């Protein structure tokens, strides 16, 4: 990869895996994750299991960062049912997925709340991974729709460019998530370029070039390497394929091979 952005391979387990399945997965990858400074690797899981996961990772010294799949934008107070950024930091969580398509669609998460969550993450020292998606009905690969660009503009309004190196944007076409189809490599690279252009408008080019852009949606061990190798793609957000330890490890090995090329 030609940039100096550290690629991030992140598993998004969504609402899958119970306590013993998580333990089994962590045991299966123990001793098998590469010790490297060429790649950052993480797993995002349900909040209820995060502390146990962090403890396992620390105890076994795994090169693995634990992420939450959501968070709230206030650290403390009368917000029944929400998860505080400070609480996530307290248990050793590294970052959080923000505004995943499923949260936007099923739980009506707005661009405005995504923006507040980005600011709260940065303030608390958590990495914000902002997922942006095109809606199935509006997708046109030759002309990336305005909706993800609006998502970007609102998500990062008011964020100082000094935070750029901490920000991750995941480009996930809505129709690819949970499907067996991905855009072509050309379309993914094009979308990433357009996203970087719009980040440049917000942050200026030096800062925008520090922001990592991941691809997510139907990533598999078969297609991961070619997508990961695209010049404007700095990592992968992986749902279903990350649930099987061997698949996750294979994708990580392939990504590392690309980084070493
Ligand atoms: P998928 O999910 O890899 O199962 O398509 C990706 C995501 O929703 O982040």
CB within 6 Å of ligand 1 — which residues? 12, 172, 177-178, 216-219, 237-241
Strand partners, 37: none
What's this model's pTM, rounded to 2 decimal places? 0.94
Q: Do 167 and 211 contact (CB within 8 A), yes or no?
A: yes
In this model, does residue 212 exceed pLDDT 80? Answer: yes
In three-state form (DSSP H/G/I as H, E/B as E, the rest C), the secondary structure along 75-142 is: CCCCCCCCCCHHHHHHCCCCEEEECCHHHHHHCCCCHHHHHHHHHHHHHHCCEEEEEECCCHHHCCCC
pLDDT for the residue numbered 147? 58
Angle at 43 between CA 102 and CA 190, to 5 degrees: 60
Q: What is the mean pLDDT of the segment spanning 95-104?
A: 96
The answer, yes or no, to whether residue 144 has pLDDT greater than 90, is no
Give the integer Cα–Cα distance in Å for 120 and 117.
5
Scan for tokens 């099987």, then name that residue. 244
Nearest CA to ligand 1 atom 3: 239
Please check the confidence at residue 149 and state whether its pLDDT lies above 80: no
pLDDT at 137 over 60: no
Distance 245 CA to ligand 1 centre (A): 16
140 has a pLDDT exceeding 70: no
Give the separation between CA 70 and CA 128, rounded to whole angstroms: 10
pLDDT of residue 1: 40
Q: What is the pLDDT at residue 250?
A: 98
Q: For residues 79 and 57, is the Cβ–Cβ distance under 8 A? A: no
- The answer to whether the CB of 99 falls within 8 A of the CB of 121 is no
Can you give the pLDDT at residue 2?
Answer: 47
pLDDT given at position 54 = 98
Q: Which of 226, 158, 233 is nearest to 194 (CA)?
A: 233
Task: Please state the rounded mean pLDDT for residues 178-203.
Answer: 92
Burial class of residue 258, CB neighbours in 10 A (0-12, 13-18, 19+): middle
Give pLDDT tens digits for 4-51: 899 999 999 999 999 999 999 999 999 999 999 999 999 999 999 999
* Cβ-Cβ contacts under 8 Å for 108 (sequence gap 6 or more): none
Backbone angles phi, psi at 130, to 5 degrees: -90, 120
* Chain centroid, CA 172 distance in Å: 10
Q: What is the mean pLDDT of residues 100-110?
A: 93
Paired sense of beta strands 95-98 and 65-68, if any:
parallel
CA distance 141 to 128: 26
What pLDDT is recorded for position 194?
A: 87
172 in catalytic set: yes
Q: How far apart are CA 98 and CA 156, in angstroms?
A: 12
Q: Whose CA is nearest to atom 7 of ligand 1?
A: 239
Residue 53: what pLDDT?
98
pLDDT of residue 141: 52
Cα(41) to centroid(ligand 1), Å: 16
Task: Give the distance, in angstroms, between the CA of residue 195 and the centroid of all CA atoms in the same chain.
Answer: 15
Chain mean pLDDT for the chain: 93
Q: Which of 60-69, 103-112, 168-177 has the highest mean pLDDT?
A: 60-69
Residue 239 CA to ligand 1 centre (angstroms): 4
Cα–Cα distance for residue pair 28/18, rounded to 1 Å = 15
Residues paired with 128 in a beta bridge: 96
Residue 100 bears catalytic tag: yes
pLDDT in tens, 88-99: 999 999 999 999
Task: State the pLDDT confidence band at 153, using cuts at 50, 70 and 90.
Answer: confident
Nearest to 9 by CA among 68, 64, 88: 64
Q: What is the pLDDT of residue 222?
A: 98
């Amino acid at each position: 990869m030609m940039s100096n952005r550290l690629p991030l391979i992140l598993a998004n387990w969504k609402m899958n895996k119970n306590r013993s399945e998580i333990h089994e997965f962590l045991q299966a990858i123990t001793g098998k994750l590469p010790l490297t400074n060429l790649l950052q690797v993480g797993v995002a899981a349900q909040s209820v299991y995060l502390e146990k996961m962090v403890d396992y990772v620390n105890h076994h010294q795994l090169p693995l960062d634990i992420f939450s799949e959501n968070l709230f934008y206030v650290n403390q107070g009368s917000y029944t049912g929400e998860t505080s950024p400070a609480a996530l930091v307290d248990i050793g969580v590294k970052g959080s997925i923000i505004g995943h398509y499923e949260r936007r669609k099923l739980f009506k998460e707005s661009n405005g709340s995504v923006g507040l969550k980005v600011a709260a993450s940065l303030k608390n020292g958590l990495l914000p991974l902002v997922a942006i998606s095109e809606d199935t009905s509006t997708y046109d690969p030759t002309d990336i729709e305005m909706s993800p660009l609006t998502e970007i503009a609102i998500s990062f309004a008011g964020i100082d460019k000094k935070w750029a190196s901490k920000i991750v944007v995941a480009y996930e076409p809505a129709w690819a998530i949970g499907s067996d189809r991905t855009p072509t490599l050309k379309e993914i690279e094009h979308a990433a370029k357009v996203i970087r252009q719009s980040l440049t408008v917000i942050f200026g080019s030096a800062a925008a070039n520090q922001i990592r852009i991941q691809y997510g949606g139907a990533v598999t061990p078969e297609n991961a390497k070619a997508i990961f190798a695209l010049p404007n793609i700095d990592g992968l957000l992986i749902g279903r394929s990350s649930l099987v330890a061997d698949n996750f490890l294979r994708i990580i090995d392939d990504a590392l091979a690309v980084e070493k090329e």
